Amino acid sequence: MPTTFPKCNPTEMMGLLVLLNSHKGSEDVALLADDLDLEIDEIFPALEFAEVLQLVKVVEGRASFTDLGKKLVGGSIRDRKAIIRDQLRKTTLFKTLLRALENAPGHALSDEDLGQIVSLTTAPADEAVQNIVNWGRYADLFRYDADERRLVLTRRAPASRPGPGQARPPSPPGTTESSSSSSSKSTPAAGPNTELRTAIVATATS
C-alpha cells in the first residue's frame, strides 16, 4: 500500500461504513454525504482511508464494499479491530512505524522520532500525528504515554484456549476495549472536524 496517512479518526471511518451498510453496501458518494447533511468533500477523508485499507472501492462516484469490508461490518468489535490491525500493518507508514518501534530501545519512540517518520508523507505534522496515534490505539498496535510523550509498542500475548476448568488469562494492558477507552486521557488533544465526527457518530448509533 502507498505511503499515506489517515486524515480521519477511526470513529469517522467506522461511522461511514455503518452508513454504507445501511444502503446495502453500495451507494452514490453524493447521497452518502447528503444523508449526513455534509458537503461531499467532507466525507472524502474517511472514504479515502477506507479505500486505502481495502474496505471499499469507489468507481464512477459510487462506493461499494469489498469482501473484506463486508466481513468487517458484519463482525464483532474484536473482529473489526483485528481486520483494521492487519490492514494497517500493510500500509507503508504503519509498517515503517512498527518496525521502528520493534527496533527502538524499550520499544518506544519519542514525539521527535514519530515526527521524522511522518515526514515520509506530505502530511501536516500535527494532524498526522494525532490521527496516527488514534488509529494505532484503536487497533491495539501501540499506546501513547503522555507523561513521557512517546509511543510504546503493544505486546500481544499469543492466542491460546484455556483447558478444562481453567480461566482465560487476562489480556495484556492496552489490548482490551476497556483499556483503550480508559487510556484516552493519554492521547494528544483531538484535532478539528467536530461537525463531521458528530454527524457520523450520530448515524452510526442511530
d(CA 152, CA 180): 14
> How many C-alpha atoms does 78 have within 13 Å on its Cβ side?
4
Sign of CA dihedral 60, 41, 116, 54: negative
Q: What is the residue-wise DSSP string for 116-152?
A: HHHTTSS--HHHHHHHHHHHHHHTTSEEEETTTTEEE
Q: Please determine whether the domains at 10-72+197-205 and 76-156+164-192 fall in the same fold group of CATH.
A: yes
Predicted pLDDT of residue 34: 94
Predicted pLDDT of residue 206: 44
Q: Nearest to residue 42, comparing CAs of 205, 202, 201, 195?
A: 195
Q: What is the CATH number of domain 10-72+197-205?
A: 1.10.10.10
- Give the mean pLDDT of 107-132: 79
The rounded percent of the chain whose pLDDT value lies above 90 is 55
| Contacts for 136 with CB less than 8 Å, ≥ 6 apart | 88, 94, 97, 142, 143, 144, 151
Determine whether 106 is exposed, middle or buried from the number of CB atoms within 10 Å of its CB (0-12, 13-18, 19+).
exposed
Q: pTM (2 decimals)?
A: 0.73
Instruction: Identify the H or E element spanning 88.
Output: helix 77-90
| Contacts for 126 with CB less than 8 Å, ≥ 6 apart | 191
- Give the mean pLDDT of 34-45: 92
Domain 76-156+164-192 maps to which CATH number in 1.10.530, 1.10.1760, 1.10.10, 3.40.50?
1.10.10
On the question of pLDDT at 180 being above 90, the answer is no
Q: Nearest to residue 133, comparing CAs of 168, 87, 94, 105?
A: 94
On the question of pLDDT at 38 being above 60, the answer is yes
- Give the mean pLDDT of 146-153: 91
pLDDT band at 130 (very low <50, low <70, confident <90, very high): confident
Mean pLDDT computed over every residue of the chain? 79
d(CA 157, CA 170): 10
- Give the mean pLDDT of 4-16: 91
d(CA 144, CA 179): 12
* Domain edges within the chain: 10-72+197-205, 76-156+164-192
* Residue the block writes with cell 477507552: 181
Residue-wise pLDDT for 61-110, tens only, equals 999 999 999 999 999 999 999 999 999 999 988 998 999 999 999 999 99
